[in-house]
Structure 1
Amino acid sequence: MQRLMIADASDVVRKVGKRILSELGFVVVEAESARDAISRCQAELPAFLIVDAALEGALDVIQAVRGLPNGKDVRIFYCVIEADLKKMMLGKRAGANDFLLKPFDRKILTSVFGGLAVAA
């Protein structure tokens, strides 16, 4: 099973995301802060990373992961509340591969991640 990390300050978002993504076959790790996310990525790099744009230090997390050995292989989703072009461009420049709109639900997460858990 592939590892996926959710870096979000909200306990509720992390718990809901973890429940849904675990059911899709991911091993889900949670990080409540940028420091926690970077530390956990240094210990064991996930295949996928969801970073909330509202997380203090979100862009630092993306840049730090990209700087790690094999960090370029992590598929990073920058999570935004609305399609804010400026915020999305900052995320893209930092190294995000894709975007997720919040609030996400089972349908959204299943459509984005459904086939990725087993794809190696």
Structure 2
Amino acid sequence: MKKCLVVDDSKMIRRVAGRILKDLDFESAEAENGEEAMKFCRLSMPDAILLDWNMPIMDGLSFLKALRKAPGGDAPVVVFCTAERDVDKIIEAMEAGANEYVMKPFDSDIIESKFAEAGIL
């Protein structure tokens, strides 16, 4: 079973995403900021990451840049799931190594289609 790490400071978003991932036959894990996510990835690199942008301690973009430099960090499919709508920020995220980008709120159809586009489904 593929594993997806949900990185978001909102417990509700992590739970909703976890249910969606279960329906897509993913095992899910959670982190509430980029620092926790990096610790998780050092122990067990997931197949995919749903990533929020604005979080305390370490934001999503900083995490993504650190992830892509880490051993094995080029492997996970990273989908930014955020309320950030600034086109320049979306471009910045894609240039930093995000595979896909979705706006909150999202649903199972959106996550499924983005995972399919990224080749993880």
Shorter-chain TM-score tier: 0.7 to 0.9
How does the TM-score come out when normalised to structure 2?
0.86
- For 2:17 and 2:116, the matched residues in 1 are separated by 13
- For 2:113 and 2:106, the matched residues in 1 are separated by 11
Residue pair 1:62, 1:95 contacting (<8 A) in 2 also: yes
Structure 1 residue 82 displacement after superposition = 5.0
Residue pair 2:6, 2:29 contacting (<8 A) in 1 also: yes
SS at match of 1:72: coil
Stretch of structure 1 that moved more, 37-46 or 76-85: 76-85
Which residue of structure 1 aligns with residue 55 of structure 2?
55
- For 1:113 and 1:89, the matched residues in 2 are separated by 19
Stretch of structure 1 that moved more, 37-46 or 78-87: 78-87
- For 1:54 and 1:33, the matched residues in 2 are separated by 9
- For 2:109 and 2:99, the matched residues in 1 are separated by 21
Q: Which has the higher contact order (CA 8 A, sep 6+)?
A: 1
Runs (4+) off by over 4 Å: 114-117
Q: State, as a whole percentage, how many aligned pairs show the same letter.
A: 31
- Give the letter aligned to residue 39 of structure 1: K
Q: Which runs of 5+ in 2 are unaligned?
A: none
Query: Quick check: 1:93 aligned with 2:95?
Result: yes
Structure 1 residue 18 displacement after superposition = 0.2
Match of 1:110 among 101, 109, 112: 112
Structure 1 residue 114 displacement after superposition = 6.2
Q: Which runs of 5+ in 1 are unaligned?
A: none
Which residue of structure 2 aligns with residue 32 of structure 1?
32
How does the TM-score come out when normalised to structure 1?
0.87
Structure 1 residue 95 displacement after superposition = 1.6
Query: Quick check: 1:6 aligned with 2:6?
Result: yes
- For 2:111 and 2:94, the matched residues in 1 are separated by 20
Q: Give a deviation string over 1:41-95, Cα, whole Å, max 9, x none.
A: 1110011111111224211110111112121111111223254211112212322
